[in-house]
Amino acid sequence: MDSETRFKGRRRQRHDARTTKGNLMVDQECCKPVQDLKGEYVKRKESARTVYRVESYDRVTKRWELTNTEDMNRCIYVKTGTILFAGFTY
């Protein structure tokens, strides 16, 4: 098999409807990068219980603020490009 054929095979896998994150198959409809989810309710993992809301971008730390819906004083910061799950019923 020549290198051009192998490259075409990889390209087809990369642009498929599903991507892999570790050993877990992730559906692109329910998970998106944090910068695309401003103002939405999200989870860090698909099986997580804690629900966060994407609030704003902090320019000093270069991270997005996620506020816990149960306790508004508890928040976490994630980097730009972090994959979060948003396709769930809350």
Q: What confidence tens digit (pLDDT) does each residue in 19-32 have?
A: 555 544 555 568 89
Q: What confidence tens digit (pLDDT) does each residue in 20-72 have?
A: 555 445 555 688 999 999 999 999 998 899 999 999 999 999 999 999 999 99
Cα-flanking dihedrals φ and ψ of residue 82, to 5°?
Answer: -65, 130
What the chain holds in terms of domains, given with CATH numbers, is 3-85 (2.30.30)
Q: Which pLDDT score is estimated for 59?
A: 95
Closest CA to 32 of 90, 68, 82, 66: 82
- Mark 29-56 as b/e (b = at least 16 C-beta within 10 Å): eebbebeebeeebbbbeeeeeebbbbee
Q: What is the rounded CA–CA span in Å between residue 19 and residue 89?
A: 22
Q: Model's pTM, two decimal places?
A: 0.67
Query: What confidence category does residue 1 fall into, taking pLDDT thresholds of 50, 70 and 90?
Result: low
The separation between the first and the last C-alpha atoms of the chain, rounded to the nearest angstrom, is 49
